[in-house]
Structure 1
Amino acid sequence: MVQENAGLGAAWFHTGRARPDAACRLYVFHHAGGSAATYARWAQMLPDDVEVAAVQLPGRQNRRSTPAFTDLDTLVEAVYEALEGDLDGRRFAFFGHSMGALIAYRLTLALQKDGAPAPALLAVSGWEGSAHRPSPVPVAQLSDEEFLARVAEFGGLPPEVTGNRELLDLVLPALRADFTVVNGYTDDRARVDCPVVAYGGASDPLLGAGAMGAWADRADAFQGLNELPGGHFYLYEHAMAVAADLARRLRRSAAGPRRG
């Protein structure tokens, strides 16, 4: 059972710049501890024929009063229900970074299993299942210091957060919940039948150079790996390049059948 009425699309999907005439709706999924604000500039970076819908998971920002999910299957079920109420007949696509890539991947598989309309493109960044190494110690059992050390392996938090106990106390509950979601995942190497493109940082310490190319083993239509300079959060510096590449691929897929 989901934690709230998933049909409340305004809560789940933040559209910074509504483009009802856009041919495609791009749903973007944030990383662990992140929020829809991660993609605040994406609407400006993508052409007018793409409408950006940033997914806002519970437990953060305007949804802080709603408990964050700690189980991946339940989370995907909730996003699925929200998505069903949001699709309007236009083509749609998914982009997710890190935990967001995991959610977008499992959501695509859920749609596929039900025979529902599939995304025109699944774009994954900074997460690849075969490289997933869950912590042997449950996240809930880690002290704040131990947990933050674990977070540091992913690139850490901004200094203005870690140096401010008040801010840290606001961020930690959702961050712990998100890490619990990821830590509980068991990879089954399931394949998706929609087109897939992968992005990654060339010096991502969690994956290693070229690791995102392994998505070829999960996709019937793999469009390749676009690797950019940087670590796990390379996306902060190269969002414009990724958005431009996505726009090009979405235009190429526009000749395909209408989805939704």
Structure 2
Amino acid sequence: MTTFSSIASWLRRPLPRPAARTSLVCFPHAGGAAAFYTPWARLLPPHVELVAVQYPGRQDRVGEPPVRTMDELADAVAEALRADPAGRELVLFGHSMGASVAWETALRLEGSGHGPRHVVVSGRPGPARQRPGTVHLRDDDGLAAELRRLGGTHADLLDDPEVRSLLLPAVRADYRLIETYRPDTAARLRCPLTAVTGDRDEEATEAEVAVWRSATDAAFTPQVLPGGHFYLVAQAERVVASVLAACGAPAPAAHPVLP
């Protein structure tokens, strides 16, 4: 049985909005944490609440073992969302590894009759273009070098031995999970899907991201924004506005949808 404490362990609400009608559920990248999305909370209109997923093995869950497989991770998040007493309409957003976790979670939610209104995937090739990898087999220096290359982790954190000892086990586990992940390429969502990538993202090219078209039976919208793999850091307002527009929700007046 899912308890409130187990729901709370998976879902973070940096700016609670009890009267909100929609939850924007955000899934972090490999090695990422719920706090990555905290700045987005103030960019949302009052009727949308940010709900960020916290994977085990990092930040306030650092004492828990990281999840080893995609099935285990998506099953747990879907269970927490189904049991969430807020009971709101859901929009899912995931970046990089989080894109695959969001899609797998959405499939499970639809299978139990609690499907989301919309899914937005970012910086990740479509399921039919998932490629295996060996980053998780590298030593700590090699793993840190990969994080530096992608640019999603502050270099000073990777230079601190104590921080590295806390950070890298979860990073390695996430890379193992996503590099050994084998999606069901015949699976299809029933809700609309938007796929976004940066125009200089070598990890998820425009052509690879367009493959998400086959991951839904509903409307599909591709979008390319300026930047590399972590384009969404510098363009948080634009990304949030685009997510809201894709889902038919108006952006706040202070943060109009950008062309």
Indicate the TM-score class for this superposition, using the shorter chain for normalisation: 0.7 to 0.9
Q: CA deviation at 1:95?
A: 0.5
Q: CA deviation at 1:62?
A: 0.7
Find the aligned partners of 2:91 and 2:23 in 1 and give their Cα distance.
6
Task: Work out the percentage of aligned pairs sharing the same amino acid.
Answer: 36
Instruction: Give the equivalent residue in structure 1 for 2:209.
Output: 212
Instruction: Give the equivalent residue in structure 2 for 1:256.
Output: none
Instruction: Give the equivalent residue in structure 1 for 2:11.
Output: 13
Size of the alignment, in residue pairs?
A: 248
Q: CA deviation at 1:199?
A: 1.1
Q: TM-score, normalised by structure 2?
A: 0.88
Instruction: Give the equivalent residue in structure 2 for 1:144.
Output: 140
Whether contact under 8 Å (2:57, 2:65) holds in the other structure is yes
Instruction: Give the equivalent residue in structure 1 for 2:30.
Output: 32
Instruction: Give the equivalent residue in structure 1 for 2:195.
Output: 198
Find the aligned partners of 2:8 and 2:111 in 1 and give their Cα distance.
26
Instruction: Give the equivalent residue in structure 2 for 1:168.
Output: 164
Whether contact under 8 Å (2:196, 2:222) holds in the other structure is yes
Find the aligned partners of 1:149 and 1:163 in 2 and give their Cα distance.
11
The CA RMSD over aligned residues, in Å, is 2.2
* Unaligned residue ranges in structure 2 (runs of 5+): 251-259
Q: CA deviation at 1:69?
A: 0.6
Instruction: Give the equivalent residue in structure 2 for 1:239.
Output: 236
Whether contact under 8 Å (1:215, 1:222) holds in the other structure is no
Instruction: Give the equivalent residue in structure 2 for 1:257.
Output: none
Whether contact under 8 Å (2:135, 2:175) holds in the other structure is no
Whether contact under 8 Å (1:131, 1:207) holds in the other structure is no
Find the aligned partners of 1:225 and 1:93 in 2 and give their Cα distance.
17
Find the aligned partners of 2:18 and 2:4 in 1 and give their Cα distance.
22
CA distance 1:150–1:163, shift in 2 (3 Å): closer
Instruction: Give the equivalent residue in structure 1 for 2:224.
Output: 227
* Unaligned residue ranges in structure 1 (runs of 5+): 254-260
Letter matched to residue 39 of structure 2: R
CA distance 1:28–1:156, shift in 2 (3 Å): closer
5 Å matches for 1:108-147?
108-114=106-112, 116-128=113-125, 129-135=127-133, 137=134, 139=136, 141-147=137-143
Letter matched to residue 237 of structure 2: M
Match of 1:248 among 240, 245, 251: 245
SS in 2 for 1:194: coil
Q: CA deviation at 1:210?
A: 4.1
Whether contact under 8 Å (2:197, 2:205) holds in the other structure is no
Letter matched to residue 163 of structure 1: D
| 1:159 and 2:155 are equivalent in the alignment | yes
Q: TM-score, normalised by structure 1?
A: 0.87
Instruction: Give the equivalent residue in structure 2 for 1:258.
Output: none
User: Per-residue displacement from partner, 1:39-63 (whole Å, max 9, x unpaired)?
Assistant: 1111101111101101111111111
Whether contact under 8 Å (1:6, 1:78) holds in the other structure is no
Instruction: Give the equivalent residue in structure 2 for 1:63.
Output: 61
Q: CA deviation at 1:223?
A: 3.6
